[in-house]
Amino acid sequence: MPRTLKEFIAEQQKDPEFARAWAEGEGAYQAQRALIRARIDAGMSQRELSQATGVPQKTISLIETGDTNPTVRTLNKLAMGMGKVLKISIEDQEAMKTDQAMEG
């Protein structure tokens, strides 16, 4: 029986349906993490980012909690408001698994 969240997820990944659903949500999760990390690195609160971009603070909160799917346009606007550039990449699935294992 798995003892940690990481072990539990690894066990669940053996189920093809779970693995497919997990993979489908990965892009949104990575966007969410990147936005939070960039905002914190920029030393900005959600309110400050909202004021800099015109994107409602509620929308920023929803993006950061994974409760909405932002458009590329919105992500770009948020990046620019932090003095950053939005970069999107498509990676090999095996490379992503290796990167995640190294993070964990």
- Maximum alpha-carbon separation in the chain: 48
Torsion of CA 5, 99, 59, 73, to 10 degrees: -160
- Over residues 59-84, mean pLDDT: 96
CB 17 within 8 A of CB 11: no
pTM (two decimals): 0.76
55-68 pLDDT, tens digit each = 999 999 999 999 99
Residue 46 lies in a domain: yes
What is the tally of structural domains in the chain?
1
Per the structure, the complete domain to which residue 80 belongs is given by 16-103
Number of H helices, E strands in the chain: 6, 0
The domain that contains 83 carries what CATH number?
1.10.260.40
Residue 70 lies in a domain: yes
Residue 54 lies in a domain: yes
23-57 pLDDT, tens digit each = 888 888 999 999 999 999 999 999 999 999 999 99
